[in-house]
Amino acid sequence: PSSTPTMAMQAQKMGCAWGRLCLLLSLLLQLPGSQAKCYFQAKAPCEYEGKQFSLGESWLSTNCLLCTCLHPVGVGCCETTQHPIDFPDWCEAHYDSQTCQISVVQKANPSLPCVKSMEHEWGSA
């Protein structure tokens, strides 16, 4: 009889930990910017560039992934950039790995942003 409350408390603690983990994972997978892709690595360690992370801690990787430690079950990572999907064919998306940003520029002159003008109508659909 004395072990029953202890087992119940352990089960409750374990349920609470898994509940938090599931909540964290669901939030991670619903980051703003619905175009962002998320990945889950079950055997990945919660370590990046020599630093150890605890459950719920996050870090930004050099390839612009926001990763969250989901110890002991692995690591979840989501892209932080929003990929443009609707722009005219005279434009193209340029990715800047330094800022983790994607900009839409003119193909003819990539130093110029892709903007609506009199000669190029777009974005009305």
Is the model's pLDDT at 8 over the cut of 50? no
Give the pLDDT confidence of 76-121 residue by residue, as tens digits: 999 887 778 888 999 999 888 888 888 899 999 999 998 765 555 5
The reply to whether the predicted model has a pTM over 0.75 is: no
Tell me the per-residue pLDDT of 35-87, one tens digit each, with 9 for 90 and over. 568 889 999 999 999 999 999 999 998 888 999 999 889 999 998 877 788 88
Q: Which candidate, 20, 101, 96, 28, places its Cα nearest to that of 66?
A: 28
Q: Quote the pLDDT of residue 105.
A: 93
Q: Which two tokens stand for residue 36?
A: 């962002």
Which listed CATH number (2.20.25, 1.10.287, 2.40.30, 3.30.70) goes with 81-116? 2.20.25
Q: Residue holding tokens 């996050």?
A: 58
Taken in order 59, 60, 65, 66, is the CA torsion positive or negative? positive
Q: How many residues does the chain have?
A: 125
Contact (CB, 8 A) for 25 and 69: no
DSSP at 7:
H
Q: What tokens were used for 42? A: 């079950």
Sequence spans of domains, the chain: 40-79, 81-116
